[in-house]
Amino acid sequence: MDIGDGSWISWYVGQPTHEFLCRVPHDYVRDRFNLTGLDDLVQNFDDTLEALLEPEFDAAFVPEAVEQLYGLIHARYIITYHGVLNMSVKYQRGDFGMCPRIHCNGQFVLPVGLTDHMGESHVKIYCARCRDIYQPHTRCALLDGAMFGCSFPHMFFMQLPQLLPQPPVESYIPRLYGFKLHSKALMPKQEEKSTPEAAAAAAAAAAASKEHKENIPHNY
């Protein structure tokens, strides 16, 4: 893999705020089959792609759409065989962070998008132990979620099932003065359903209250 060059890709993924991103090989980007349909999503597609592949780049002349194009390509690459392997190195190194849930015991997480469309949501992190999503650490929190897509974590563990963790064996138990609380004690109170009898009783009470007020003598 051609790393360490002066290309835009090398510069972009080298930013501290882009730690979640892996480096998509130039050979993958050059293969037009991998880019099918992206020309409809990115303005000035050919110029943007050319800027993305330039061996040397000038930040002052890089089209704004380059970041968008790279993000869309990245989302496709990381669900390929080689892309999953590249991301697994970052995963096992803990680059994506750990689950904030106490009973997940520092389980490593994966980035995930809530949508596959750019500009709709920032990246989240997915814990395969509790199977829930959380906000990532602030440094990478502004990456677009579509750079990873909705399918990545699930494709990752389908390809590498040996990395799939067991569900948590512990969960938080609410207690009051040391005693375990009944589950119903923690349920929000629901509004009582109105019945014909309850409605009639309420109407009678309102009428009685009105009559009582009318019979009160007034002092002028």
Instruction: Give the pLDDT band of residue 220 (cuts 50, 70, 90).
Output: very low
Q: What is the pLDDT of residues 114-144, one digit of tens each?
A: 999 999 999 999 999 999 999 998 889 999 9
Helix axes 152-159, 81-93, angle to 10 degrees: 90
For residue 23, the tally of other CB atoms under 10 A from its CB is: 17
Q: What is the DSSP letter of 140?
A: G
pLDDT value of position 178: 83
- According to CATH, the topology of domain 8-163 is N-terminal domain of TfIIb (2.20.25)
**Nearest-CA neighbor of 75 among 26, 133, 127, 123?**
123
What's the chain's average pLDDT? Answer: 87
What separation, in Å, do the N-terminal and C-terminal C-alpha atoms of the chain show?
A: 97
Q: What does each C-alpha distance from 67 to 11, 40, 144 come to in angstroms?
A: 12, 16, 10
Q: So where are the chain's domains?
A: 8-163
